[in-house]
Amino acid sequence: KTSKVQYFNNPMWPGEAHSLKVEKILYQGKSPYQEILVFESSTYGNVLVLDGIVQLTEKDECAYQEMVTHLPLCSIPSPKNVLVVGGGDGGVLREIARHVSVETIDICEIDQLVIDVCKDFFPQLSVGFKDPRVQLHVGDAVDFLRNASEGKYDAIIVDSSDPIGPAQELVEKPFFQTIARALKPGGVLCNQAESMWLHTHLIQDMLSICRETFKGAVHYAWTSVPTYPSGVIGFLLCAKEGPAVNFLSPVNPIEKLEGAMEAGREIRFYNSEIHRAAFVLPTFVRRELETH
């Protein structure tokens, strides 16, 4: 009874809930940061849930991980040093590995238990950790970025959970300022930016912070993920001042990268046309975001 009440009262999507049929509970545990649940669903494969919120399913994870990774990495000529914030499942690492230009991949995930559990139940994602370019840092990304060297990264991908719990500070201005500092001139950020159907104010706030912080370019893009609330999720693409970045059309198209479409596992969602389409916004969203 209690969990049902909490379900409909999640402040991120009050009054609604989404259900998947559970075939079997595979794991249930609690880390110092969150409750972790993995179950086998009837129609979406294995599902990772943190604090009652679906983070990924095997069926539709491609629509999120491929977009959050290739939107930024295909927008710059030759990404070399990349940082992932969150992303303990390894899916974003798997996608970055398709880019042969990349030399180092740092990942800062707060929760070691998420990493361990995903190694057991999501081998197709955690395979990302096996790439020799990957260096894992377990800790709070807020501290990690505060201490990161200036101008180190070509791209930073913030694959973080919703801003309740450990990811709270990841939507605040000081965090974005440390990201801008850690980027090279012309470096890019792709930040998980919630749903255009549900989170207008949060998106507007993040957008104004980013427009103040990143002088190169700031755009909102979106993708369809059936198991996220409202079925869509967005990204904020930001470029630091320096060499000009045009996110709207990929300068480093995935189709031209040697072996990228197949590397380990074939690309299922992303391509250059969907990259361009991701920045096309519905009229109501355009109106809501243009003055912010």
**Catalytic positions, written as ranges:** 159
Q: Which of 51, 60, 106, 109 is in the footprint of ligand AAT by CB under 6 A? A: 109
Within residues 35-64, the interface with ligand AAT by CB under 6 A covers 53, 55-56
* Rounded CA separation 196/45 (Å): 26
Supply the minimum distance, in Å, between the C-beta of residue 180 and ligand AAT: 18
Backbone φ and ψ of 221, nearest 5°: -130, 165
Supply the minimum distance, in Å, between the C-beta of residue 242 and ligand AAT: 26
Supply the minimum distance, in Å, between the C-beta of residue 54 and ligand AAT: 7
Query: Considering the rule CB under 6 A, would residue 72 count as an interface residue with ligand AAT?
Result: no
**Residue (118 or 218) nearer to ligand AAT, CB:** 118
* Rounded CA separation 98/19 (Å): 33
Site string for ligand AAT, 1-40 (x = CB under 6 A): ----------------------------------------
**Residue (72 or 216) nearer to ligand AAT, CB:** 72
Give me the residue whose beta carbon is nearest to ligand AAT: 86
Query: Considering the rule CB under 6 A, would residue 228 count as an interface residue with ligand AAT?
Result: yes
Q: At 186, list the tokens.
A: 């012309």
Q: Which of 72, 91, 187, 250 is in the footprint of ligand AAT by CB under 6 A? A: 91
Site string for ligand AAT, 162-201 (x = CB under 6 A): x---xx--x---------------------x---------
Nearest partner of 36 among 52, 60, 19, judged by Cα = 52
Burial letters for 22-54: b for 16+ Cβ neighbours within 10 Å, e otherwise?
eeeebbeeebebbebbbbbbeebebbbbbbebb
**Residue (65 or 213) nearer to ligand AAT, CB:** 65
Query: Considering the rule CB under 6 A, would residue 85 count as an interface residue with ligand AAT?
Result: yes
* Rounded CA separation 237/217 (Å): 8
Query: Considering the rule CB under 6 A, would residue 110 count as an interface residue with ligand AAT?
Result: yes
Pairing of strands 134-138, 53-57: unpaired
- SS3 letters for 95-152? HHCCCCCCCEEEEEECCHHHHHHHHHHCHHHHHHHHCCCEEEEECCHHHHHHHCCCCC
Within residues 231-270, the interface with ligand AAT by CB under 6 A covers none
Query: Considering the rule CB under 6 A, would residue 111 count as an interface residue with ligand AAT?
Result: yes
Q: Which of 89, 106, 154, 288 is in the footprint of ligand AAT by CB under 6 A? A: 89
Burial letters for 220-255: b for 16+ Cβ neighbours within 10 Å, e otherwise?
bbbbebebbbeebbbbbbbbbeeeebebeebebebe
Supply the minimum distance, in Å, between the C-beta of residue 110 and ligand AAT: 4
Q: At 152, list the tokens.
A: 């180190």
Supply the minimum distance, in Å, between the C-beta of residue 41 and ligand AAT: 16
Beta strands in the chain (DSSP E): 22-30, 35-41, 46-50, 53-57, 81-86, 104-109, 134-138, 153-159, 183-192, 217-224, 232-239
Which residues sit at the interface with ligand AAT, rule CB under 6 A? 53, 55-56, 65, 85-89, 91, 108-111, 114, 140-142, 159-162, 166-167, 170, 192, 228
